[in-house]
Amino acid sequence: MKPSYIGGQAVLEGVMMKNKNTYAVAVRKPDGEITVDVKNVKRGKIVEAVKNIPILRGVVNFVDSLVIGMSTLTYSASFYEEEEEKPVSEKKEKFMMGMTVLFSIVLAVAIFMLLPYGLSLFFGRFTDSVVLLSLIEGIIRLIIFLLYVWGISLMEDIRRVYMYHGAEHKCINCIESGLELNVENVRKSSRMHKRCGTSFLLFVMIVSIIVFSFITAPSPVLRLVLRLLLIPLVAGISYEIIRLAGRSENRIVSLISKPGLCLQHLTTREPEDDMIEVGIASVEAVFDWKKFLEEF
């Protein structure tokens, strides 16, 4: 397979695809029509300067994913609002979006960082090994993450999102396998992909266990502060692993990717043909797959 380096995510009744600094979100509206919105990512000069630096680029891409993901989810949901709402100014919309992203980050840190750390302190009664406590904390974090993924997969609305997630992966796998991008070829392509955000989050959980095991400060409060400060490093390392996995067929890399691919059995579902059509529309809005296949 030849990597295309495009990626995306599922949204409500749609798919977002991103290629370099351009992204498009395609949504199947209630009337059955597919609407496509294309936008460019605007970054400051400092961010542009570090986006190609290993580790740091992972942090930039992680923040980008959060902002774009929240924006495209809001856009797709706007087609399915039951009641008409008053139009919101662009400035107010950006503020609300920023607050939503901030709240999401705080909530994620509380659930996947603070809670596991707090629970691990209970085991301090039985051992004074900081490394062992870090390992216990990591296992608790991993269990919470897996339970979360499994729990939301049972929700009916999420199942449809996961079907669009499958459509996103299958579209990318289709062109990266050298096939023409059409419904028939996409349908027979795999819904698992090494560069999936699910795999990234799983790597974050695993990498955090390794990185946090080096924190041996005697104070529990200081250990917690250092963990929070090291979150960007963990995200950056995890991104580099995902990036390597997406472009390498090395056996060791493939073996490392296996857990994330297995987890995708929960976070993706086989899409219907009309969902595949939405995925194709999103790809074609940002990526010249015909040219890509000519150079395959």
> What is the residue whose two structure tokens read 């629970």?
119
Distance, in Å, from the CA atom of 162 to the CA atom of 154, rounded to the nearest integer, reads 11
17 closest CA partner among 28, 29, 34, 5? 5
For position 256, what pLDDT does the model report?
A: 92
Asked if 78 contacts 11 with a C-beta cutoff of 8 angstroms, the reply is: no
For position 83, what pLDDT does the model report?
A: 47
Locate all alpha helices (DSSP H) within 154-272, ordered by sequence: 156-176, 183-187, 197-212, 220-229, 231-247, 251-267
For position 293, what pLDDT does the model report?
A: 93
The domain locations on the chain are 7-294
Model pLDDT for residues 206-244, shown as the tens digit of each residue: 999 999 999 988 898 999 999 999 999 999 999 999 999
DSSP letters spanning 78-145: GGG-SS------HHHHHHHHHHHHHHHHHHHHIIIIIHHHHHHHGGGGT---HHHHHHHHHHHHHHHH
Comparing 33-42, 44-53, 154-163, the range with the smallest average pLDDT is 44-53
**Residue 81: is its pLDDT beyond 90?**
no
Model pLDDT for residues 257-291, shown as the tens digit of each residue: 999 999 999 999 999 999 999 999 999 999 999 99
Residue with the bigger pLDDT between 124 and 185: it is: 185
**Residue 49: is its pLDDT beyond 90?**
no
pLDDT cut 90: percent of the chain above it: 69
For position 247, what pLDDT does the model report?
A: 85
**Residue 18: is its pLDDT beyond 80?**
yes
Neighbours of 65 (CB within 10 A): 17
Distance, in Å, from the CA atom of 186 to the CA atom of 199, rounded to the nearest integer, reads 21
Comparing 1-15, 175-189, 275-289, the range with the smallest average pLDDT is 1-15
**Residue 87: is its pLDDT beyond 60?**
no
Distance, in Å, from the CA atom of 59 to the CA atom of 54, rounded to the nearest integer, reads 9
> What is the residue whose two structure tokens read 């349908």?
187
For position 151, what pLDDT does the model report?
A: 94
